[in-house]
Amino acid sequence: MPLFAIPFPQIDPVLIELGPLAIRWYALAYIVGILLAWRYMRKVVLNDTLWNAKASRPTATDIDDFVVWAALGIVLGGRFGYVFFYNAPYYLQNPAEILAVWTGGMSFHGGFLGVVIAMLAYSHFKRLNLLTLMDLCGVAAPIGLFFGRMANFINSELWGRPTDVPWAVVFPTGGPMPRHPSQLYEAALEGILLFVVLRLLMHRFKLLQKPGALAGLFAMGYGIFRSIAELYRVPDAHIGYLSGFLTMGILLSLPMILAGAALAVYALRQPARNDT
């Protein structure tokens, strides 16, 4: 092993195996992330200090019902996003594997689009303010992102470029070279830091009273943090670098940064509303 490299911890990707049934850390991360995000959204809507006293808002029951819609958006959007953004030629030749989510392959950007579609449909069905629902999802999303990136690390996937930094890790699937633990970088940036920033903005500046502001800041923040992490991460082998340092992850993040910035600026310019 190269000097100063950290050996990869011996963590079995399968948490529990009972005959043909296998419970994987990756699946558990999705379940825990969704459940904790749901509980956090419930807590936010019940916190009267964050809302305008005369404003309407989703109820806790609305959030309870929405979690099913969101879960479907995450799973279906994440899978189809990976299929079409990252490996379309392979799945066009092997269409039976498109729904084989247990084999791996999920895209955050696809999951993001899936949740946006779920929010559009649910807010229309329940007659809720779309931007407020987007804000609630935005402040809770980093919870799921954190657990998802930790699961990527456990699976020894999406590792980083070779490096000689003291915290480099030798991944069992990454050859003998020590590499950036880019999954942990993303867990820290997209998960912990983004959560803390959005929580501070929500509590300190009452941005839930300006519908769309937190959603826009989430999209912009995620896009920036993901692009930073991509500089240390090895792109998928079948895609590689699109041009120079440009990866598919950065390319898909650019529209999020621009759209998020535009939405945040628009929302912040609006007076606090009584119909959020």
Residue 272 has pLDDT above 70, yes or no: no
Mean pLDDT of the chain: 90
The pLDDT assigned to 276 comes to: 47
pLDDT digits (tens, 9 = 90+) for 75-90: 899 888 888 888 777 8
- For residues 85 and 107, is the Cβ–Cβ distance under 8 A? yes
167: Cβ–Cβ under 8 A, 6 or more apart, which residues? 6, 181
Overall pTM surpassing 0.95 (yes/no): no
Of the candidates 76, 85, 119, 89, which has an alpha carbon nearest to the alpha carbon of residue 218?
Answer: 119
- Residue numbers in the known binding site are 149
More confident of the two residues 4 and 127: 127
The pLDDT assigned to 150 comes to: 94
Residue 37 has pLDDT above 70, yes or no: yes
d(CA 65, CA 104): 28
pLDDT digits (tens, 9 = 90+) for 129-181: 999 999 999 999 999 999 999 999 998 999 999 999 999 999 998 998 999 99
The pLDDT assigned to 273 comes to: 57
Report the C-alpha dihedral over residues 111, 114, 119, 124, rounded to 10 degrees. 180
pLDDT digits (tens, 9 = 90+) for 90-113: 888 888 777 766 566 788 888 999
Of the candidates 188, 178, 109, which has an alpha carbon nearest to the alpha carbon of residue 150?
Answer: 188
pLDDT digits (tens, 9 = 90+) for 211-252: 999 999 999 999 999 999 999 999 977 788 888 889 999 999
Extents of the domains making up the chain: 29-268
The pLDDT assigned to 209 comes to: 95
